[in-house]
């Protein structure tokens, strides 16, 4: 598996150093999904870029790394935290916050790989549970509150202007992320029917002729549990018909 990494450090050179070390890591392989220079930015990025491991500095302007680690404990699906700091005196407090490891700068490649292997071992048992493993929920951030919405309840996601609508049978929610990120993480049970829409494969009930005031005559899907129809682009018609053909 490829570990998804977020680097949080207020020093650009420190972030670049970790990028270089991660580039040299082959066991386990890694991919940096985001970088942040402070804790507040990191919290916002985590909603849009879920990661497996947070490489986290301690001394930063504003909320420090220990404060961020404490805030992450409220998340139902939080990344593993590996502190990367020049200050060794915070190790006890860090492990009280359930840190996976504590690395002191300058970080050696072998020591970083050891920490990443710990993260890999921690993640793999969860992934063996079933096809979706820990991916059975979508995280919705709303007014400072984080909610886990079961993916089984979601009928479709649609990109509208600057946000993504998540539609269940009973509710309309706002997802603080992109369709592409969602598709990368949960793609197996979802079908792209348009550049701005993903639908649950199990919810597709019919493909019907449809007239759109802007695009003219075309096709749309009827979905279980919701009244609205969603337009299907011509290049996605074959995929929809294949799903319907499989029943």
pLDDT, residue 15, reads 95
The answer on 40 and 109 residing in a single domain is yes
Q: Which of 103, 55, 59 is nearest to 80 (CA)?
A: 55
The answer on 20 and 91 residing in a single domain is yes
pLDDT, residue 143, reads 66
The answer on 118 and 21 residing in a single domain is yes
Q: Distance between CA atoms of 105 and 236, rounded to whole angstroms?
A: 50
pLDDT, residue 132, reads 43
User: Is residue 20 one of the residues assigned to a domain?
Assistant: yes
Q: Distance between CA atoms of 200 and 223, rounded to whole angstroms?
A: 9
Number of other CB atoms surrounding residue 141 within 10 Å: 18
Are 146 and 75 a contacting pair, CB within 8 Å?
Answer: yes
Question: Model confidence over 149-170: pLDDT tens digits?
Answer: 888 899 999 998 788 999 999 9
Q: What is the CATH number of the domain that holds 206?
A: 2.40.50.1020
Pairing label, strands 154-160, 163-168: antiparallel
The answer on 15 and 120 residing in a single domain is yes
User: Is residue 137 one of the residues assigned to a domain?
Assistant: no
User: Is residue 138 one of the residues assigned to a domain?
Assistant: no
Q: Which of 92, 127, 162 is the endpoint of a domain?
A: 127
User: Is residue 78 one of the residues assigned to a domain?
Assistant: yes
User: Is residue 139 one of the residues assigned to a domain?
Assistant: no
pLDDT, residue 204, reads 94
The answer on 115 and 26 residing in a single domain is yes
Give how far Cα 173 sits from Cα of 72, 140, 156, 158, 193, Å.
22, 8, 11, 11, 20
User: Is residue 111 one of the residues assigned to a domain?
Assistant: yes
Total domain count, the chain: 2
User: Is residue 140 one of the residues assigned to a domain?
Assistant: no
Blockwise average pLDDT, block size 10, the chain, 247 residues: 91 95 88 94 88 94 92 82 90 86 92 91 56 64 76 92 89 87 81 94 91 75 92 92 81
Are 232 and 194 a contacting pair, CB within 8 Å?
Answer: yes
Q: In the beta sheet, which residues pair with residue 80?
A: 53
pLDDT, residue 173, reads 92
Q: Distance between CA atoms of 159 and 149, rounded to whole angstroms?
A: 18
Are 1 and 123 a contacting pair, CB within 8 Å?
Answer: yes
pLDDT, residue 215, reads 61
pLDDT, residue 124, reads 63
pLDDT, residue 10, reads 96
SS3 content of the chain, % helix, strand, coil (to 5): 35, 35, 30
The answer on 107 and 8 residing in a single domain is yes
Q: Exposure pattern of 228-244 as b/e (b: 16+ CB <10 Å)?
A: ebbbbbeebeeebeebe
The answer on 155 and 115 residing in a single domain is no
The answer on 115 and 13 residing in a single domain is yes
The string of DSSP letters for 89-143 reads GGHHHHHHTT-SEEEESSPPHHHHHHHHHHHHHHHHHHHTSSSSTT-SEEEEEET
Q: In the beta sheet, which residues pair with residue 167?
A: 156, 172
The answer on 117 and 56 residing in a single domain is yes
The answer on 83 and 178 residing in a single domain is no
Q: What is the CATH number of the domain that holds 40?
A: 3.40.50.2300
User: Is residue 141 one of the residues assigned to a domain?
Assistant: no
Half-sphere exposure in the Cβ direction for 209 (13 Å, CA) = 1
Number of other CB atoms surrounding residue 68 within 10 Å: 25
The answer on 79 and 7 residing in a single domain is yes
Question: Model confidence over 9-39: pLDDT tens digits?
Answer: 999 999 999 999 999 988 888 999 999 999 9
Range of the domain at 219: 150-245
Q: Distance between CA atoms of 230 and 210, rounded to whole angstroms?
A: 9
The answer on 7 and 41 residing in a single domain is yes
């Amino acid at each position: 598996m490829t570990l998804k990494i977020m680097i949080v450090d207020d020093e650009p050179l420190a972030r670049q150093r970790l990028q270089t070390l991660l580039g040299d890591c082959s066991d386990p392989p890694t991919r940096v999904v985001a970088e942040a220079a402070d804790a507040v930015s990191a919290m916002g990025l985590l909603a849009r870029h879920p990661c497996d491991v947070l490489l986290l500095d301690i001394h930063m302007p504003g909320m420090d790394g220990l404060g961020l680690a404490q805030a992450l404990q409220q998340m139902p699906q939080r990344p593993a935290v590996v502190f990367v700091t020049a200050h060794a005196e915070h190790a006890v407090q860090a492990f009280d916050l359930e840190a996976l490891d504590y690395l002191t700068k300058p970080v050696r490649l072998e020591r970083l790989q050891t920490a990443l292997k710990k993260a890999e071992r921690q993640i793999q048992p969860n992934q063996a549970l079933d096809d979706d493993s820990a991916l059975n929920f979508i995280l919705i951030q709303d007014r400072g509150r984080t909610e886990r919405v079961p993916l089984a309840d979601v009928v479709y996601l649609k990109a509208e202007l600057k946000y993504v609508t998540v539609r269940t049978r009973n509710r309309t929610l706002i997802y603080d992320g992109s369709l592409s990120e969602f598709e990368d993480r949960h793609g197996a049970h979802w079908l792209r029917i348009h550049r701005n829409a993903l639908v649950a494969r199990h919810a597709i009930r019919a493909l019907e002729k449809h007239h759109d005031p802007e695009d003219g005559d075309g096709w749309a899907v009827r979905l279980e549990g919701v009244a609205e129809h969603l337009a299907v682009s011509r290049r996605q018609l074959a995929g929809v018909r294949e799903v319907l053909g499989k029943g």
